[in-house]
Amino acid sequence: MGVGLGGYFTREVLKPMKRRAKGFPETLRVRIALWTVGAASVVLAGLVVAPSRLPAQRQQVDWSEQEKPIVQALHGLRSLPDDTRARVTKQLALDIRVLPTGEHKLGLANGLANLSTEGDFGHDALQEVATTLATALAEHPAPEERGEPAEQYLELAQLVRYEHVQASVDSPQFGKAMSELEAFDLDRQQADFTLTDIEGKPWSLKSLQGKVVLVNFWATWCPPCRKEMPDLESLYKHFRKQGLVVLAISDEDASKVKPFIAEKGISYTVLLDPGRQVNTLFHVMGIPKTFIYDRTGKLAAESIDMRTRNQFLGMLAQAGLLYRDRGSTSPRCAMIPETYRTMRAHSRPAPERYVASVRTGGL
């Protein structure tokens, strides 16, 4: 099965799942623009959707010869080793940047941006990705969606706010996207909830003050979620005596979650949110997502996608938990990424202070 080259796409499928759409997964605002059509199902970045759920109207994608290798590379990005993926991600950003202006360029730039945060591929690669998306938006602005910023502006705003890159677009939509993310973080700071775990025990967020609480949104069908789980388990075992509590929240049924957790040997707490009330409370529009609260209940760090062990360590350091080797009396700060030592995800400068403004030619 080919991806994109012989398949179909629609405006709905082209947009990554970064804004909550009612009825997910029935709607197809998915995490990546690339998909393949099979006889019985459509596979979208790990999510299988029956053909009956596809939008009624579809159009053939006529990729150019210049675009085809980029589409193929994006489709295979998750299968690459992390070091290779970092290099390929950066090169793809450069390749997309020189494409002719238009919807294809913007869609490919947005798809790459969405994939680029699934781990730690280096700040330089993320900066090139953000520059490419900002350039594509400056050249081919996306229209507002029902009075809200288009998905592509929200994607760029998330890279700026949470991944610490420098990029902007001379568009009111970008400012609105930045303001929306700031409002989301205020809601997350004030959030409280009570959910039951897979054994029926209730857990409340605010009752855990005095602990460092890591709230992780995930699902059994989500490949990046599954990839980060072993690191979460390892770090939970290392830090639990220092007061770390992990609350992993799934919106799936217990009948699906419980055997999966048993098979994976997960010992941290797994909560069920079948009505998605807590997902909605936290404005979770794509998974995995992680939020860490310090012992005072303050939102100390958050991530918009999958994190590596080192990235989790940096986030935990923001909440006051420093990693110590077994038998060592001093914390290992060298392995904590610099961005997490100096910046907090919920306290960014105002949008107008981001310096790399893009108008017509790139950064």
Written as six digits, the tokens of 204 are 């409340």
CA distances from 309 to 140, 336, 337 (A): 37, 10, 11
How remote is the C-alpha of 254 from its chain's centroid? 24
Written as six digits, the tokens of 2 are 């080919």
The identity of residue 65, as a single letter, is E
β-strand pairing of 299-303 with 289-293: antiparallel
The identity of residue 281, as a single letter, is L
Q: What are phi and psi of 98, to 5 degrees?
A: -95, 5
Q: Which of 134, 225, 247, 306 is catalytic?
A: 225
Q: Is 225 a catalytic residue?
A: yes
**Are 215 and 290 contacting, i.e. CB atoms less than 8 angstroms apart?**
yes
**Are 317 and 340 contacting, i.e. CB atoms less than 8 angstroms apart?**
yes
Q: Residue 260: which of 239, 229, 290 has the closest Cα?
A: 229
In three-state secondary structure terms, 203 is strand
- 91: Cβ contacts below 8 Å, ≥ 6 apart: none
Alpha-carbon distance 305 to 39, whole Å? 31
Active site residues: 225
